[in-house]
Amino acid sequence: MNISFDLDSTLIPNGKEFETEKRGGIAKLFGIEEIRKGTAELITELKNQGNKVHIYTTSFRTKGKISRTLKYYGIKVDRIVNQTENQRELNRRNINSSKFPPAFGFDIHIDDSKGVGIESERHNFNAIIIEPTDKNWIEKIKTEIKTLHNKV
């Protein structure tokens, strides 16, 4: 399956809402951002199970910047969709939603936004909404993906 992750407050903290991986002082100078603790293991596991993993964000960060941060933590994703690409594609399709994962072939999208949760019902796509403070976020994602796997 194609699984996409939101960035802000899902994998990259906005403040101090979740624990993050260690980051060297020099990395910070080079624009490497902090990342949620456990992200690399989770993504590796999902890929080992045969899934493709993507980033789907409404942030205007460049794909290069996002991929540099991920690479620093040993993470490689299959595709990155940022807001520039998202807006272009959703406008082209006349879709009135902040996100619409099926436009990019994503089967399940993981996000912190309740708004995206509402959109998922309105536009009929699969989303897993994770509270930024949820300490069991990894288990929740794995369980829900398993459930969806049996449905899709």
Binding positions for Mg ion, rule: CB under 5 A: 6, 8-9, 112
Nearer to Mg ion, 49 or 62 (CB): 62
What DSSP designation does 32 have? P
Nearer to Mg ion, 6 or 119 (CB): 6
Nearer to Mg ion, 94 or 123 (CB): 123
- The least CB distance from residue 97 to Mg ion, in Å, is 15
> Are the CB atoms for 69 and 13 separated by under 8 Å?
no
- The least CB distance from residue 48 to Mg ion, in Å, is 26
Nearer to Mg ion, 69 or 150 (CB): 69
- The least CB distance from residue 98 to Mg ion, in Å, is 10
Cβ-proximal residues to 42 (8 Å cutoff; 6+ apart), any chain: 138, 141, 142
Encoded amino acid at 75, one letter: I
Cβ-proximal residues to 4 (8 Å cutoff; 6+ apart), any chain: 53, 54, 55, 56, 81, 101, 104, 106, 108, 109, 110
Report residue 129 as tokens: 């909404």
- The least CB distance from residue 15 to Mg ion, in Å, is 13
